[in-house]
Amino acid sequence: MDKQLRKNILLLGLLSATISTNIYVSVPNLDLISKEFLVGDLLVSIIAGSFFFFYGVSAVFWGYVIDALNINRRKGLYLAIFSAIIFDLFAGLSNNAYLLLISNILIGISLGFSIPAIYGVIIDYFPLEERIFAIAVWNLLSGLGSSAGFALSFASGYFFNWRIAFFIIAITQTISFIALKFIREPKRGESEHILREVFEKGKNYDYRLNKREFIGTIFKRTNYFLLIQSFFISAGWGAYMGWGIHFMTREAGLDKVQAAGILGLVGLGGASSIILARIVQRFQKIDLVIKLIIAGLLVAGEGTSYIIMYSLLKWIHPGIAASDIITSIILLLSYITSNTTFALSIFIGASGNFMGSAAGPIRGTVISEVNLPEEKSALYGMMIVSDHVGRSLGIVLVGAISSLFNSLYLGLLASFSLYYIGSISWIKASKTYLRDRKRFIKKLNHRKKRILEE
């Protein structure tokens, strides 16, 4: 990867990291929100889940707009981020649960533009042989941003008030404006080898998506299976992020500091995602299909790891909660070093996080390999709809099961089991991928010929 491409991905990653701080801003403080507004688990789970749902739904809308109108993605990002800042401030000022719900919805609608826009820019910057790694870096930095937002929100709720996090994140979003200044808007299809001659001759790829083509694209077999896997995997992940910290405090005898520390340690597994991306990228040079099969196996491993981790925590029940942060940290570190099973549960969870980190970059690459340049942002938007509706389902599913059976553990197990459906969908996609890729290459060559003849 040359110097300019490295600069591009780091800038796009920084942009995504600052945007992603909004993703889990409500999640660590669901208990505080519930107590302040006197509402139950189900309503606060809807408040948290509403962001994911509308973030996803708006992503497909904006993705379609980007592809259908060929709008400038950079300018659109400026407007989306500015809107999110305003609604973050509204969220921090909310005086009841329903105003907070509306604010979360509006933040999600605003920031939904960012995912198909940034994805489209990455695909137009990076050639096929570099895309898995580029998307992995993007996902990693986005994940670090969401983790930072989670940690900031947790700290705000623990030391001050849950509202403070919304105000701070509104301020930090201004970093996005700085990053955007240095990002060039690439030409659509610029990275496709097939279209190289088109751009060398000073022509542009000006095809735009129309409604009929978009509907047909959604039901392309490979895309269909990718949508299914995205939905079910994300349901499990939404449960993990939305309720993990609350399970540990309610049913494993830990306090919030210790629970957040455990999730942070597990999250270190995902920080190695770029290593796994490099490995998969090398395998695809031998056989393009192998990356889909690898993704299916890794996803199954991720779900199994979380089931084992949470079952061990339930069985061990550490019961080391403390009233002050220093004592809490000391007790956690001491228990990790003295209890092998407890340490093993964290390691297993981190291993699952590591395995699952490859699925997103592989998915993003496959979408770009079987869909035309004017279809990719809209299609990725559809994936985000599936992803975030799935997260909403996972969060609400756990909340509903907890309300019925008074057990977050049962709700988490039910959600983690959905990973296996995602794994099967990956294997199904591997059966149709090569056929859809050949059709893509044939159609893009036909488009190229028409452009050169004009």
Q: Is the pLDDT of residue 198 over 60?
A: yes
Confidence band (pLDDT; 50, 70, 90) for 172?
Answer: confident
Structure tokens at 359: 């699925």
pLDDT digits (tens, 9 = 90+) for 61-97: 888 888 878 778 888 888 888 888 888 888 888 788 7
Name which residue leads in pLDDT, 285 or 398: 398
Q: What is the mean pLDDT of the chain?
A: 83
Name which residue leads in pLDDT, 287 or 145: 145
Q: In terms of residue numbers, what domain contains 129? A: 3-453
Report how far apart, in Å, the C-alpha atoms of 141 and of each of 54, 247, 362 are. 22, 27, 16
Q: How far apart are CA 315 and CA 309, in angstroms?
A: 10
pLDDT digits (tens, 9 = 90+) for 18-31: 888 877 777 776 67
pLDDT digits (tens, 9 = 90+) for 399-439: 888 888 888 888 889 889 999 999 999 999 999 998 998 98
Q: How far apart are CA 260 and CA 386, in angstroms?
A: 27
Q: Domain count of the chain?
A: 1
pLDDT of residue 36: 67
Confidence band (pLDDT; 50, 70, 90) for 162?
Answer: confident
Name which residue leads in pLDDT, 270 or 361: 361
Q: Is the pLDDT of residue 4 over 70?
A: no
pLDDT digits (tens, 9 = 90+) for 183-193: 887 888 788 88
Q: How far apart are CA 71 and CA 16, in angstroms?
A: 19
The CATH number for 145's domain is 1.20.1250.20
* Model pTM score: 0.76
Could you tell me the sign of the dihedral formed by the alpha carbons of 71, 72, 75, 76, in that order?
Answer: positive
pLDDT of residue 203: 80
Confidence band (pLDDT; 50, 70, 90) for 363?
Answer: confident
What is the Cα 140 distance to its own chain's centre? 10
Torsion of CA 170, 172, 174, 180, to 10 degrees: -130
DSSP assignment letter at 28: G
pLDDT > 90: percent of the chain: 11
Confidence band (pLDDT; 50, 70, 90) for 44?
Answer: confident
HEC per residue, 355-389: HHCCHHHHHHHHHHHHCCCCCHHHHHHHHHHHHHH
pLDDT of residue 307: 93
Name which residue leads in pLDDT, 426 or 392: 426
Those residues with Cβ within 8 angstroms of residue 159's Cβ, 6 or more apart along the chain or in another chain: none
pLDDT of residue 2: 60
Q: How far apart are CA 349 and CA 346, in angstroms?
A: 5
Confidence band (pLDDT; 50, 70, 90) for 126?
Answer: confident
Confidence band (pLDDT; 50, 70, 90) for 312?
Answer: very high
pLDDT of residue 225: 92
Q: Are 79 and 114 in contact (CB under 8 A)?
A: no
